[in-house]
Amino acid sequence: MQGFKLLSGTANRPLAEEIARHLGVELCRVTLSRFADGEIFVRIDENIRGADVFIVQPTSAPAENILELLLLIDAARRASAARITCVMPYYGYSRQDRKDQPRVAIGAKLLANMLETAGTDRLLGIDFHQHQLQGFFDVPVDHLYAAPVFVAHYRKKELRDLVVVAPDAGAAKMARGFAKRLNGALAIVDKRRPAANVAEVVNVVGEVDGRDCLITDDMIDTAGTVAESARALKRLGARDIYVCATHALLSGPAAERLSAAPIEEVAVTDTITIPPERRFPSLRVLSVGELLSKAVRYTHSDQSVSSLFD
C-alpha cells in the first residue's frame, strides 16, 4: 500500500499484527521504552513524512496506554505524517460520558479532547459504550460494529427458538439488531445497580422458557451483569445460554463468575488483550482484525466503510 504506515502501541500488538497480516504489510518500526522512573518514551524508527499513518491502540487500563497513544500521535505529527488515524478498538473511559453526579469528570470527552490536541485527524473505533460518543470528536469518526463477526459465529451454531437478551435497557438496541439478524425474539433484563459494579436483576421482560438465549452486551467488566442475567434466565426455564460482548475487560472476579454461571459459551473479541489469568474454559475469542483491516484499507483509499456494517 503506497504511502501507508501502520503503527502499534503496546496495548494490543497481537491485534495490530493481525490487521497487518490481513493488509499484507509489516508494522512500522517503533521504539517504545521507559526511562528509569517509568516515564514513557516513543520514537518512530522509519520515515513517515507525507504518509497516511494508522496507530492501533485500545485505551484499556492501565492509563499509560492512553499516554503512549498520545505520544505516538504527537511523534507522528512532528514527523510530518500527512494524515493520522487513531485506530482505537476499545474506548477506555467511555462509561464516563456525562455529569450524572455532582463534581464528576466527563472522562470520555476529556479523552476525545486529548486525542485531538495530540493531532489525530480521524478516529476508527468499535462498539462505543454509547453511539453518540462520536459527537465528542470534531474530527471524522468511523464507528464499526463487531456484530457481523458475532453473527457469523452464531449462524454456525444450531440455536433453537432463539431469544436475544439485552442485559439492561441500554443494551436493547444492540440486542434488537442481533435478534433481527439471527431471526430471534427479544427479551430485556431490568437491571439495577445498588452500588458500583454490583448488578441486580429485578425482572425479565419477554418469554425465555424452553428457549436458547443469547445475552449481548458491549463489554464485560466484573461480569456481574451477564452472570446475574444468566441465572435469572435459567430460573425462568431458559435452555442453553450463550453470552457475547465486544470488549473483554474481564476484571476482578469475572473469570470465576462466568465459569460458575449457567453459560455454555462466552464469546468476546480481541479489542483488548486478554492475559492468560483472565481466560477460562468456556471463553471464545473472535478476532476483529479482518474487520479493522478492511476499514483501514477503505479509509486509506477513500472508499466508503458502510459495507462493513452488513
Place of cell 458502510: 306
E strand residue ranges, the chain? 4-8, 30-34, 40-44, 52-56, 83-88, 122-126, 141-144, 163-166, 185-195, 198-205, 213-220, 241-248, 265-269, 283-286
How far is it, in rounded angstroms, from Cα 242 to Cα 234?
A: 12
Which of residues 56 and 258 has its CB atom nearest to ligand R5P in the complex? 258
Least Å from the CB of residue 276 to ligand R5P = 20
How far is it, in rounded angstroms, from Cα 247 to Cα 94?
A: 12
Indicate which residue of 5, 109, 191, 294 is catalytic.
191
For residue 170 the three cell numbers come to 441500554
CA dist 84 → 61, 159, 245 (Å): 23, 43, 29
DSSP state letter for 32? E
Continuous segment of H or E residues that includes residue 262: none
How far is it, in rounded angstroms, from Cα 144 to Cα 59?
A: 16
8 A C-beta contact, residue 219 and residue 249: yes
How far is it, in rounded angstroms, from Cα 100 to Cα 193?
A: 14
Interface residues with ligand R5P (CB under 6 A)?
Answer: 167-168, 170-171, 197, 199, 217-225
8 A C-beta contact, residue 217 and residue 248: no
Catalytic site includes residue 191: yes
Least Å from the CB of residue 272 to ligand R5P = 13
Label residues 237-265 b or e (16+ Cβ within 10 Å = b).
ebbbbbbbbbbbbbeeebbebbeebebeb
Which of residues 269 and 299 has its CB atom nearest to ligand R5P in the complex? 269
How far is it, in rounded angstroms, from Cα 85 to Cα 141?
A: 9
Which of residues 142 and 221 has its CB atom nearest to ligand R5P in the complex? 221
Which of residues 6 and 223 has its CB atom nearest to ligand R5P in the complex? 223
Least Å from the CB of residue 171 to ligand R5P = 6
For residue 224 the three cell numbers come to 456481574
Least Å from the CB of residue 225 to ligand R5P = 3
Which of residues 92 and 224 has its CB atom nearest to ligand R5P in the complex? 224
Least Å from the CB of residue 249 to ligand R5P = 7
Least Å from the CB of residue 288 to ligand R5P = 18
Which of residues 96 and 273 has its CB atom nearest to ligand R5P in the complex? 96
Which residues participate in catalysis according to the annotation?
191
